[in-house]
Amino acid sequence: MKFHSTDKVRLVMPTAALVTVFDECDGFDQDETGGRVIGTYQEHRDKLDIHVTGIIEAGPQASRSAVSFFQDGAYQEQVFRKIEDQHREIEHLGNWHTHHVNGLQHLSGGDIETYYRTVNHRNHNTPFFYALLVTGRQKSADPLRRYTVKHYIFRRGDERIYELHGNQVEIVEKPLVWPASVGSHAVHRERSEPSSSPARPDRAYDNHTIQEFYPGIRPFSSPKLGVYWRGALDLLDGSSVQVVVLEDAAGHVPKYSATLRDAPTTLQDVADELSRVEFSSARAALIATERNCNRALYRRTHEQHHKSST
């Protein structure tokens, strides 16, 4: 398969979107994963300007293997509706997924077939389809260089597949509309980072990510507990739950655990499950907590819906 160049397309990509994608990749060593890319676009004659403003996660019913990945469309639609309520201009721009687990350096035949069908489908809103592909993991401490990516554009009624090159992709510092907490409280809070802790780049990155993605949660340190993060985690249904992430620095490599405080009964199973697992970073602990809580809430809504419709 040949990929073509084009000078007709420009893509604007916030760093927060890449961080969201890369954090998700960090959680899947064996399986493909991905999500939906949302944002806005302008078309002038044959020129296309695409602005990414959010990433919707794969969803609780997504299925993954080393060579395939299917998103939970119903869940993503529900999230999209919620975003659309507040941002009428937002559209589905396309998908992202990763091949870093199987080493394939470009879109697969199956990917291409699916995206052709999508972009030419009469229900498809936009005259193009954007595909972000993660192709490999890098040995880099820079959070934005953890993985290599490729950007593809499919255009309606066009046989060619376009690959975007460096200068066509502009990386910007802009807040996202989703995940919900990103940039929604763009106020700089007073710094409360522990000062006595030894310099660890990963902890700085934890703090950076948590501050950006989980504005309700702040770092603390105490002689008794050591380093921890505490605060309110915003959930899919508009509720929030108190969470504490604790660092266990006793071993050679620090470990992290997450605890829900005063969890409602709907989240009791999640709380129990969390009490049994350890994470490699504070952000991983928070991401897993958020995902598991949202999954529990979503399942519950689904079950209620089923009951009321039968």
| Sites of contact with Zn ion (CB under 5 A) | 108, 111
Residue closest to Zn ion, measured at CB:
111
Nearer of residues 64 and 218 to Zn ion, judged by Cβ? 64
Rank residues 108 and 266 by Cβ distance to Zn ion and give the closer one.
108
- Nearer to Zn ion among residue 99 and residue 218 (C-beta): 99
Closest distance of CB 56 from Zn ion, Å: 18
Instruction: Tell me how far, at minimum, the Cβ of 27 lies from Zn ion, in Å.
Output: 18
Closest CB to Zn ion among 72 and 111?
111
**Minimum CB separation from Zn ion for residue 99, in Å?**
6
Smallest gap from residue 63 Cβ to Zn ion (A): 14
Instruction: Reduce the secondary structure of the chain to three states and give it as a string.
Output: CCCECCCCEEEEEEHHHHHHHHHHHHCCCCCCCEEEEEEEEEEECCEEEEEEEEEEECCCCCEECCCCEECCHHHHHHHHHHHHHHCCCCEEEEEEEECCCCCCCCCCHHHHHHHHHHHCCCCCCCCEEEEEEEEEECCCCCHHHCEEEEEEEEECCCCCEEEECHHHEEEECCCCCECCCCCCCCCCCCCCCCCCCCCCHHHHHHHHHHHHHCCCEEEEEECCCEEEEEEEEECCCCCEEEEEEEEECCCCCCEEEEEEECCCHHHHHHHHHHCCCCECCHHHHHHHHHHHHHHHHHHHHHHHHHHHHC
Q: CB atoms < 10 A from the CB of 53, how many? A: 25
**Closer residue to Zn ion in complex, CB, 153/286:** 153
Rounded to a whole number of angstroms, the minimum distance from the CB of residue 119 to Zn ion is 16
Q: Closest CB to Zn ion among 108 and 240?
A: 108
Least gap, CB of 262 to Zn ion (angstroms): 42
